[in-house]
Chains A and B, each alone.
Chain A
Amino acid sequence: MIKGKGIPLAISFLTGTIIIIAFFIPHAPFGSFEEISLRWYSIIAGFTMLLGVDSLLRLHTNKIKRKENHWAYSIVLLFGFLLIVIVGIISTIRYGNAFLTGSGFMYMYDNMIIPLQSTMFSLLAFFIASAAYRAFRARNFDATLLLITAIIVMFGRVPISEMISPKIPIFTEWIMSVPQMAAKRGIIIGIALGAIGVSLRIILGIERSYLS
């Protein structure tokens, strides 16, 4: 029985149903159950992340062992991981909390993670632009519309557009708050309906692919 899907399906049904009931009846016993469930959820969900980290570290360790292509970079990855963990432990011992400003851990965060992440994201500007040029070339009416809107929005958000005509930023804002908002709302409503449908299917045990 334990090997089957019966117990997991019952757990999904019970937890899902009680959380929904607790939203409408936030009193005992549902309210306290919701609080406990959400606390447990954050603890257990973290272990899924640890499982992913374990998988990544295992992959790179195997790469080093087998001396696969670019295995030296796997050493760099493992070194980076171990470095921040060790610095975090040392900072905790020294300051009592690694997240205090001035700790080595936070120095690494401010001077390595932040610059690397923001540089990586800024790099995407060039690649998004070149990929978009290839993908959205004005081949038909829809692609042309997309391209023109993107150009207007980009142009309307730089100071020179206001110097040319104050109406350009106003028109950009109108695009963002009217036609863009309409499409966004339509998509958000679709996503919300989809999320409700899928969640109901999972809670009722119709959708079981997550247990395979």
Chain B
Amino acid sequence: MAISTSIWIWIAALLTLSIYSFLYKDNPFYKFSEKILVGISIGYTVSIYFHNTIIAKVWNPLVHDHNFLVIVPLILGLLMFSRLFKGKAYLSRIPIAFVVGTGCGMSIPSSFENLFKQVQGTMPQVFTIGNIIILIGVLSTLIYFFFSVEHKGIIGKVTRVGITFIMIGFGAAFGATIMARISLFIGRIQFLLGDWLGIIS
């Protein structure tokens, strides 16, 4: 394999190296790449919103289906910008109230579903050592987060078990996160050595 001649591969490789240069110390190359990332990411997010929401849910229904009801959320959305005008900021409470109310309305059934699924998963159908450990772990973790009772005596001992489970849980989550990041790192190194420099196939 030979070194890449694609301009896009070169751009990706140089931006990758600029980001990694931060491992040495903060420098202009890193700052440049960081700002480019922020700029194009927000531009991309705005484009997605424009394409998936404004065009698909506002423009098309309004122009092609003559559904004039979509003007209401459009006006409510524009009211968000009233926050920028002193004396008119109170108008932004209306769309915020709609978003928060709808969000809470969606959150309650889904949280109950999640809650019941977790409780169902915790209840052992077959008594194995693993299932009993899970049951003890879930109960002790929940009791640890119950601050209405002082963690003393028997409750204190149960919360101690809860902390142990929480620490194992955090440790495992931490280890898994590190490994996920390491796999991304390996992916970038493979790109640099393979796609860019052509040293590995």
- Complex contact A183–B169 (CB within 8 A): yes
- Complex contact A17–B174 (CB within 8 A): no
Scoring A residues 39 to 50 as 1 if CB is less than 8 Å from chain B, else 0, what string do you get?
Answer: 111111111111
Interface of A, secondary structure class, is helix
Say whether B126 faces chain A, with CB atoms less than 8 Å apart: no
Within 8 A of B (CB), among A174-206: 174-190, 192-193, 195-196, 198-200, 202-203
Within 8 A of A (CB), among B80-110: 80-81, 83-84, 90-91, 93-109
- Complex contact A84–B43 (CB within 8 A): yes
Q: Which chain B residues border A81 with CB–CB below 8 Å?
A: 39-40, 42-43
Scoring A residues 158 to 175 as 1 if CB is less than 8 Å from chain B, else 0, what string do you get?
Answer: 100000000000000011
- Complex contact A186–B105 (CB within 8 A): no
Interface size class of A (residues with CB under 8 A): 35 or more
- Can you list 27 contacts pairing A with B, beta carbon distance less than 8 Å? A40-B98, A43-B53, A44-B80, A44-B98, A46-B49, A50-B46, A54-B84, A78-B39, A80-B36, A88-B47, A98-B47, A112-B12, A116-B40, A119-B19, A122-B182, A122-B188, A146-B168, A150-B172, A179-B172, A186-B144, A190-B142, A192-B112, A195-B107, A195-B111, A196-B115, A202-B101, A203-B105
Say whether B200 faces chain A, with CB atoms less than 8 Å apart: no
Interface of B, secondary structure class, is helix
Q: Which chain A residues border B73 with CB–CB below 8 Å?
A: 39-40, 43-44
> Distance (Å) between the CB of B149 and the closest chain A CB?
15
Q: Which chain A residues border B54 with CB–CB below 8 Å?
A: 43, 46
Residues of A near any B CB (own CB < 8 A): 2-3, 5, 7-9, 11-20, 23-24, 36-51, 53-54, 56, 70, 73-74, 76-85, 88, 97-99, 105, 107-126, 128-129, 132, 142-143, 145-154, 157-158, 174-190, 192-193, 195-196, 198-200, 202-203, 210-211
